[in-house]
Structure 1
Amino acid sequence: MGRLNEDRVESIVQLILDDYTDERAVNKTDLYNQPDKKAVIEIVEKLLKILYPGYYSDKAYKIYSLRNNMSATIEDVIFHLKKQTMIVLKYCGAYPGCADNDLEEKAQNMVFDFMEKIPQIRAYLDTDIQAAYEGDPAAGSKDEVILSYPGLYAISVYRIAHELFLLGVPMIPRIMTEHAHSVTGIDIHPGATIGKYFFMDHGTGIVIGETTVIGEHVKVYQGVTLGGLSTKGGQKLKGVKRHPTIRDYVTIYSGSSILGGDTVIEENVVVGGNTFITKSISKDTKVSVKDQELQFKN
């Protein structure tokens, strides 16, 4: 009986190994020449330590050791991000025919350009923290916002990923934002453009598509979708403006869907909950669904 089980096991092993031999996407087995998702997530966590010194650090920094600790963290991020960037440039064929030395130099320059954007990212995040604190009466302090709000975590990872996206780094920005998506339930494509003072109240279930453009002082509640009208065109729609534009000082309440690349929500619009919008809304407008009739049955 035992021998029969061993034969069956060997048969199953061979069956599965034989299934790896074709060119399907599920059969990539070149483990050492493709990006490392775990390494990218570790880079995100180290970047958060740089963005928020003292909040995400392993221990409280003393003033005299801040430079040493930050220097080590920054150098570590540069090293590992350059390594992963070079891998994705090669893996995705971003520069076909480019020699490894040239590819390494391109990766290094991309990482240096990104790291020089850190002060700008922190400046934007400071406004996001301010918007969250001022926009939520339940916020006890800005420290509470930084340490506990999933919306701030998601926008922090997005702002990191967005700068890498703008620099033309493939795949890594999406791995970063999808990690934040898995942690917070907030799905922001790194290609979206989001202005200062952005606040996602509660946050869970928010979806912001790749070509979305959001102005400043925008507040979005849980369950909001800023999406495309249709994706049936698939890859033919790549690069096309598919998602809405949201101007400054707009508030979008929970459960609302605003769809379409030609849809523009102008300044100072308030979009009520559970609305479905596919046309532009002029400024200073309040949009709401007419009261639904409740039915009670015994």
Structure 2
Amino acid sequence: MKEKKEELSEMVKSILESYEQHDIICNIDSTNRLNRKTIVELIDAIRYVLFPGYFEMRNLKSCSVEYHVGELLEEIQYRLKKEVVRALQHRISGDKIKLETIEDEAEEIVGQFLKKIPQLRDILATDVQAAYDGDPAAYNTDEIIVSYPGFYAITVYRIAHELYLSGVPLIPRIMTEHAHNRTGIDIHPGATIGKYFFIDHGTGVVIGETTVIGDYVKIYQGVTLGALSTRGGQKLRSKKRHPTIEDNVTVYSGASILGGETRVGEGAVIGSNAFITSSVPDQTRVSIKNPELLFKGRVQMAELGQEGFWKNEKE
């Protein structure tokens, strides 16, 4: 028994030495630790306000909607301010003068965010319409709001983007990484995305921090809007590293469009699995040559007039 206690003591000592050696992955004695669970709950609360009547546990009545929204805003304001205060302390750690006014700054940020909810609803309404117009499988717009992973990821991005623009660190990324974990869609909160944006299916989509996307853009699963190289590390922080996608562009599944100087022109269509590192002119269709398909079997097959369909010649 004594030997086990001594062994445990040695293990603890070794771990504590590691804490001192690698303080970059320690957060001991911190008073500004963000609560990820609270941030995820705030996403839900904000969605209740953005989409009234869709996600509440109880039916929402028009006679009580004013009280309901007021109650939600009060809760969001209180809880979000606490998290923003903690986040801002990361940004200005050690600056005692600014720490005295940090709560005022957080209150201003949260107040401005809540005032933007009508504008958020305006642009999210266009995203819903784009999904409905672009997907014949959509039963109605309600189905899109309550079940489409692409729309969920876009909603969380638009919430996080407003906080990102206000200079709030950490929280926007926690929000979009939660959506990434839930949907497989990775949209950096710093990306700039126009109205009527639609992600179909969505799994594996990556949209980098400095990406600029225009209006009426549609992308499919597995699309990467990324950087050419990150060898420069933090030296590239303020540089445009990701592409610009102009209005009315469609990017099909598996395509990669890379580089800060890469521009995909208005009305262009990028085919599946294309790898693009240079600009594409307006109204251009880009595709890769289809690989040759080989069919081996005992039954002779013949291709029908419609590409991709086959029949047994004996039929």
TM-score by length of 1: 0.95
- Please name the residue that 2:313 is paired with: none
Q: What is the rounded CA distance, in whole Å, between the counterparts of 2:220 and 2:123 in structure 1?
A: 20
> What secondary structure is seen at the aligned counterpart in 2 of 1:226?
strand
> What secondary structure is seen at the aligned counterpart in 1 of 2:254?
coil
The structure with the larger Rg is 2
Paired residues for 1:228-239 under 5 Å: 228-239=227-238
- Please name the residue that 2:72 is paired with: 73
Q: 1:95 to 1:139 in 2, by over 3 A?
A: farther
- Once the two structures are overlaid, the 10-residue window that deviates more, 68-77 or 203-212, is 68-77
Tell whether 2:177 aligns with 1:156.
no
Give, in angstroms, the shift of residue 3 of structure 1.
3.9
Amino acid at match of 1:293: E
Amino acid at match of 1:123: D
Tell whether 2:278 aligns with 1:279.
yes
Q: What is the rounded CA distance, in whole Å, between the counterparts of 1:112 and 1:22 in structure 2?
A: 41
Question: What are the ranges of 5 or more consecutive residues in structure 2 without an aligned counterpart?
Answer: 298-315
Share of identical aligned residues, percent? Answer: 52
> What secondary structure is seen at the aligned counterpart in 2 of 1:32?
coil
- Please name the residue that 2:222 is paired with: 223
Q: Deviations over 1:20-64 (max 9, x none)?
A: 224521111235322222221111111111111111212111222
Q: 1:278 to 1:74 in 2, by over 3 A?
A: same
Q: What is the rounded CA distance, in whole Å, between the counterparts of 1:99 and 1:278 in structure 2?
A: 44
> What secondary structure is seen at the aligned counterpart in 2 of 1:98?
helix
Tell whether 2:186 aligns with 1:187.
yes
Q: 1:240 to 1:296 in 2, by over 3 A?
A: same
> What secondary structure is seen at the aligned counterpart in 2 of 1:170?
coil
> What secondary structure is seen at the aligned counterpart in 2 of 1:87?
helix
Give, in angstroms, the shift of residue 102 of structure 1.
1.1
Q: 1:34 to 1:98 in 2, by over 3 A?
A: farther
Amino acid at match of 2:160: A
Tell whether 2:61 aligns with 1:62.
yes
Paired residues for 1:1-298 under 5 Å: 2-22=1-21, 24-93=23-92, 96-295=95-294
The answer as to whether partners of 2:92 and 2:98 remain within 8 angstroms in 1 is no
Q: What is the rounded CA distance, in whole Å, between the counterparts of 1:97 and 1:5 in structure 2?
A: 46
Give, in angstroms, the shift of residue 284 of structure 1.
0.9
Q: What is the rounded CA distance, in whole Å, between the counterparts of 1:40 and 1:192 in structure 2?
A: 20
Q: What is the rounded CA distance, in whole Å, between the counterparts of 1:103 and 1:123 in structure 2?
A: 31
Q: Give aligned pairs, total.
A: 297
Q: What is the rounded CA distance, in whole Å, between the counterparts of 2:27 and 2:6 in structure 1?
A: 28
Q: What is the rounded CA distance, in whole Å, between the counterparts of 2:195 and 2:213 in structure 1?
A: 9
Q: What is the rounded CA distance, in whole Å, between the counterparts of 1:65 and 1:83 in structure 2?
A: 28
The answer as to whether partners of 1:89 and 1:95 remain within 8 angstroms in 2 is no
Q: What is the rounded CA distance, in whole Å, between the counterparts of 1:3 and 1:288 in structure 2?
A: 71
RMSD: 1.7
> What secondary structure is seen at the aligned counterpart in 2 of 1:258?
strand
Give, in angstroms, the shift of residue 255 of structure 1.
0.2
Amino acid at match of 2:124: L
Amino acid at match of 2:104: E
